[in-house]
């Protein structure tokens, strides 16, 4: 089990490097705090949000729905474009075929119920890839419903109060009592159901800016381990510790396995520490299913460790690996959605993003945060595992010559 000794030796060496620890553990926390706080609104209020096409279907003409669509969804500065469909089924189909980003269905009597101060049911159809767009539509609709309900309740209450006072022959209104009544009734309002039509087992909870950037920074900084792991391998080659290992009775496969596991273990520990720290410090919710989180940690760490071996096989000097690796991480981070949400990318670039492991990891995080089922995570987990295995295989084959000295 010499590979275990090599892996734990690497782990020990990395924990001794304070500069590296600060970069890998504190920097992502700092950036999450800054980006999550500064750009948190992006995910709830539409400001600077991605352009979103919304399919709308309603059972009957409704003045309130028209008001919502024309004045709120398509108001000045809104990122929403609305397309009308005759039936809910067609809305669902449009979402499934990705003709639109989000679909909304209003049942008959929606506006009437709202005017009565009740909570009309609104059904939002979405797909797991459109969590941000869904959040925008949901948030704008909820705000509208709350505003109308409060106005309606106020009017009704004043009318009742006035009627009662007029009957008693004196006109007195008690605003405190009315306000308390509105609050109680409003707290139970806004009955919006989000249905996922592309992967019906995916989650539905909306994601905050802090959650998004915690996940984004987590995957980006974990990716730095690919460069650090590669540098560690090259350093061993240049300082002759690798040659010394080969003069000992250690098989080449044990050395590569040990280096791979060392990077994977460190990445996983970084993953656990980061999730724990963001949950404690910023109250980031990473979803309810810890099993899914652990599985993602394992497959993503595996992908990162595999890339480290591949990078080590491409360079002979640490400096070159460092320079190219750092640029690579930033390009991957940009493409994979760690800096700007992928939803804001044009279609072609979104396809390119699928070539980056961090995109799959980020998607998985967001899905978990929305309460996704295991079935919807199979594909990203499989892709991340393949990234790791293929990179490890190609890297090992390329390293074979140099590893044998």
Beta strands (DSSP E) in 337-393 are none
- Six token digits for residue 201: 């087992």
For position 247 contacting another protein by CB under 8 A, the verdict is yes
Tokens coding 129: 């890839």
Closest CA to 128 of 34, 204, 73, 220: 204
**Distance between CA atoms of 359 and 300, rounded to whole angstroms?**
11
By CB under 8 A, residue 5 contacts another protein: yes
Q: Under the criterion CB under 8 A, does residue 11 sit at the interface with another protein?
A: no
Smallest distance from the beta carbon of 225 to another protein, in angstroms?
A: 17
Q: Pairing state of beta strands 102-106 and 52-58?
A: parallel
Beta carbons within 8 Å of 145's beta carbon, 6+ residues apart: 114, 119, 120, 122, 189, 190, 192
Contact predicate 317/198, CB 8 Å:
no
**Least distance to another protein from the beta carbon of 230, Å?**
17
Instruction: Please identify, using beta-carbon distances, which residue of 5 and 37 lies nearer to another protein.
Output: 5
Taking CB under 8 A as the binding criterion, the range among 22-30, 244-252, 275-283, 393-401 that sits at the site for another protein is 244-252
Report the nearest approach of another protein to the CB of residue 263 (Å). Answer: 16
| 9 lines the binding site for another protein (CB under 8 A) | yes
Least distance in angstroms from the C-beta of 241 to another protein: 5
CB neighbour class for 193 (10 Å; exposed up to 12, middle 13-18, buried from 19): exposed
Site string for another protein, 14-33 (x = CB under 8 A): --xx----------------
Six-digit token string for 176:
């405190």
Which segment (111-119, 168-176, 237-245, 266-274) binds another protein by CB under 8 A?
A: 237-245
In whole angstroms, how close is the CB of 237 to another protein at the nearest point? 11
DSSP H or E stretch at residue 53? strand 52-58
Does 250 participate in binding another protein (rule CB under 8 A)?
A: yes
The answer to whether residue 13 forms part of the interface with another protein (CB under 8 A) is: yes
Q: What is the per-residue burial (b if ≥16 Cβ within 10 Å, else e) of 349-370?
A: ebeebeebbbbbbbbbbbbbbb
Q: Does 182 help bind another protein (rule: CB under 8 A)?
A: no
Query: Is position 240 an interface residue for another protein (rule: CB under 8 A)?
Result: yes
- Among 22, 243, 279, 331, the residue binding another protein under the rule CB under 8 A is 243
Interface residues with another protein (CB under 8 A)? 2, 5, 9, 12-13, 16-17, 239-241, 243-250, 405
């Amino acid at each position: 089990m010499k590979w275990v000794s090599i892996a734990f030796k690497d782990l020990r060496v990395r924990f001794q490097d304070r500069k590296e620890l600060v970069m890998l553990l504190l920097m992502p926390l700092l950036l999450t705090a800054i980006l999550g706080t500064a750009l948190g609104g992006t995910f709830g209020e539409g400001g600077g949000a991605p352009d979103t096409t919304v399919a709308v279907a309603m059972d009957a003409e409704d003045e309130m729905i028209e008001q919502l669509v024309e004045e709120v969804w398509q108001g000045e500065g809104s990122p929403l474009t609305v397309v009308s469909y005759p039936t809910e089924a067609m809305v669902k189909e449009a979402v499934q075929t990705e003709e639109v980003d989000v679909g909304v269905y209003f049942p008959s009597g929606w506006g009437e119920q709202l005017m009565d101060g009740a909570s009309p049911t609104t059904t939002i159809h979405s797909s797991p890839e459109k969590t941000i767009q869904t959040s925008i539509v949901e948030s704008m609709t909820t705000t509208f419903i709350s505003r109308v309900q409060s106005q309606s309740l106020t009017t009704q209450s004043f009318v009742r109060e006035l009627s009662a006072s007029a009957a008693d022959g004196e006109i007195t209104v008690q605003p405190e009592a009315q306000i308390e009544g509105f609050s109680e009734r409003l707290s139970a309002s806004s009955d919006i159901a989000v249905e996922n039509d592309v992967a019906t087992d995916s989650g539905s909870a909306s994601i905050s800016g802090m959650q998004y950037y915690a996940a984004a920074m987590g995957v980006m900084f974990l990716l730095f381990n690919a460069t650090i792991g590669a540098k560690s391998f090259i350093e061993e080659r240049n300082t002759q510790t690798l040659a010394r290992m080969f003069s000992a009775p250690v098989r080449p496969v044990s050395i590569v396995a040990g280096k791979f596991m060392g990077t994977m273990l460190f990445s996983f520990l970084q993953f656990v520490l980061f999730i724990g720290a963001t949950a404690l410090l910023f109250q980031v919710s990473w979803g309810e299913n810890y099993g899914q989180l652990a599985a993602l940690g394992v497959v993503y760490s595996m992908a990162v460790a595999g890339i480290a071996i591949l990078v080590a096989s491409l360079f002979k000097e640490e400096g070159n690996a460092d320079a190219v690796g750092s640029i690579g991480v930033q390009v991957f981070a940009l493409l994979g959605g760690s800096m700007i949400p992928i939803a804001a990318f044009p279609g072609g670039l979104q396809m390119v993003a699928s070539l980056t492991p961090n995109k799959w990891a980020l998607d998985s995080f967001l899905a978990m945060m929305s309460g996704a089922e295991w079935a919807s995570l199979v594909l990203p987990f499989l892709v991340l595992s393949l990234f790791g295995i293929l990179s490890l295989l190609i890297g090992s084959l390329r390293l074979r010559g140099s590893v044998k000295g």
